[in-house]
Amino acid sequence: MSTDRPSNLIKHPGQTSIASLENISDFSLNITDCAQVVVPEEVFFTVAAAGILENLLILIAVIRNKNLHLPMYFFICSLAISDMLGSLYKTLENIFIILCKMGYLTRHGDFEKKLDDAMDSMFILSLLGSIFSLLAIAADRYITIFYALRYHNIMTLRRALVILAIIWAFCAGSSIAIALFSYEAATVIPFTILFPLMMCFILCLYVHMFLLARSHAKKIASLPSSTVHHRTNMKGAITLTIFLGVFLCCWAPFVLHILLARFCPHNPYCACYMSIFHVNGTLIMCNAIINPMIFAFRSPELRSTFKKMFYCSRSSCNW
Amino acid sequence: MSSLRLISNRTSQQALSNSDYTWDYEYYEYGPVSFEGLKAHKYSIVIGFWVGLAVFVIFMFFVLTLLTKTGAPHQDNAELSEKRFRMNSFVADFGRPLESERVFSHQMAEESQSLFHFCINELDHMNKAKESQKGPSLDSNTHFQEVSKSSGVFEEDLHRLTKFNIPNFVNTEQNSSLGEDDLLISEPPIIL
């Protein structure tokens, strides 16, 4: 690609004769006017590998530590699994493209198309799984705060597992359906409406919790012997903004891409937006890296489990 | 015109065939996009989208900060009465023994313990805040103590209301700098 471009640029752009291939490549010059922004493969693989490793660590830690067999950690595990799937998809797609470039696979074969469809459905599964896991985590925290006294009766382990099974079955079914019928507007529109709807719902849950926490802090501050610092209120606002800001910034570009690809693929502005598709994919993988830091690593119990795991592996403890 | 488009389609695929990640274009089948006569900058959607996103996130942050500073004063009264109602229902719920649940490990019991302490502490605060309603609160307070003593696990911890630190559930340290920060992270503590 890089060797073709300079020769195209030298040619006169005004030629309209269709006899020669070179003039038609002038036409293709217009297509590549907004060139695809290419993310280097090393960056891609590094980000994907980091995401997969981090989420795998969380899964292992939750499985090994019996204290972490709680609904809250199961929901965090579900988020880790969906992040892992997203990074795995990108890695497989990259490998697939490298194989295509090296000639082991053709571009137009049936098998490749089916494989591509399967990978697309894995990616949509990851997106839906992410959204619903975040929703489940928010709902779990909401119940913890507003129904604190009955939490253990409302959210038992069995119910949490049933909820997770329902969520993943729904996501799997929808992802297969969306991947099969992805060329129709009827699938794209619900898909893109789901995203802001879930965002708003999660935002409302967290804001309500935030208001309760603030009123608690006010009550404590009104006590004469209170030593709570006023800055903790600001911290809550920052934390909530980070939560939702990260989710928005990582997923919204991709959702917009899908919308534009469906409704205005020939518009030059839309085409320029779609040329940064791989940056959007990298952002989604960055989300897989950031999510554990926001959700999982804040738990002291999980952190101590990690320390035990690492120190044990370093100083061969008794296995 | 249509034949031109056909040829240019094939050529576009060939021209892109040496580049990375052209697999995506297989299904979109873009025709030639003309970039002539653009009124605005060609990356205007990209710029507009990211600027809009940044503005929205900053706006959300300011709204949350404003909620921090001001907020609705009437909500405090509503919360208090709601809590009192929940205390009463809690007593009713807690009639059956904890040990009937097989999932209650020691940590679970500790967490329920922390809930007790939350209730009792809340009641203490309500008592301090509203002297006139001391009567019924004290009654439920003593009732709590009876219920907790009958379970037999929480006796010695009733005296240490602010000391324990249950990592997964409730953080009752008043001096903790985490405050509401923890609320929104993995364990939402109830700040006492």
Pairwise pLDDT comparison (A290 vs A236), residue with the higher score:
A290
Cβ contact B180–A298 (<8 Å): no
| CA dist., res. A72 & res. A69, Å (int) | 8
pLDDT in tens, A47-91: 989 999 999 999 999 998 888 888 999 999 999 999 999 888 888
Greatest alpha-carbon span in chain A: 89
Long-range Cβ contact pairs of B61-70 (< 8 A, separation 24 or more):
B61/A237, B61/A238, B61/A241, B61/A245, B64/A207, B64/A210, B64/A236, B64/A237, B64/A240, B64/A241, B65/A234, B65/A237, B67/A207, B67/A210, B67/A211, B67/A214, B67/A237, B68/A214, B68/A233, B68/A234, B68/A236, B68/A237, B69/A233
With CA atoms as reference, report the closest residue to A85 among A52, A43, A50. A52
| CA dist., res. A204 & res. A199, Å (int) | 9
Task: Band the pLDDT of A43: cuts 50, 70, 90.
Answer: confident
| CA dist., res. B192 & res. A105, Å (int) | 63
Q: Which two tokens stand for residue A136?
A: 């489940």
Provide ipTM, 2 decimals: 0.74
Cβ contact A32–B89 (<8 Å): no
Task: Band the pLDDT of A165: cuts 50, 70, 90.
Answer: very high
| CA dist., res. A246 & res. A217, Å (int) | 26
Residue B165, beta-bridge partner list: B171
Task: Band the pLDDT of A162: cuts 50, 70, 90.
Answer: very high
Percent of chain B's residues with pLDDT above 70: 17
Task: Band the pLDDT of A167: cuts 50, 70, 90.
Answer: very high
- Do the beta carbons of residue B183 and residue A210 sit within 8 Å? yes
Cα A258 to chain centroid distance, Å, stands at 15
Count of A–B CB contacts within 8 Å?
A: 265
- Do the beta carbons of residue B185 and residue A232 sit within 8 Å? no
> pTM of the predicted model, to two decimals?
0.64
Interface test with A, best of B70, B84, B173, B184 (most A CBs within 10 A): B184
Highest mean pLDDT out of A24-33, A165-174, A199-208, B79-88: A165-174
Q: Given the structure tokens 């006492």, which residue do they identify?
A: B192
Average pLDDT over residues A85-100: 84
Say yes or no to pLDDT of B182 above 60.
no
Pairwise pLDDT comparison (A75 vs B126), residue with the higher score:
A75
Sign of CA dihedral B192, B73, B59, A82: positive
A310, with CB counted inside 10 A (0-12, 13-18, 19+), is exposed
pLDDT in tens, A125-147: 888 898 899 899 989 988 888 88
- Determine contact: B150 vs chain A, CB below 8 A: no
Task: Band the pLDDT of A164: cuts 50, 70, 90.
Answer: very high
Q: Which two tokens stand for residue B89?
A: 């229902």
Percent of chain B's residues with pLDDT above 90: 3
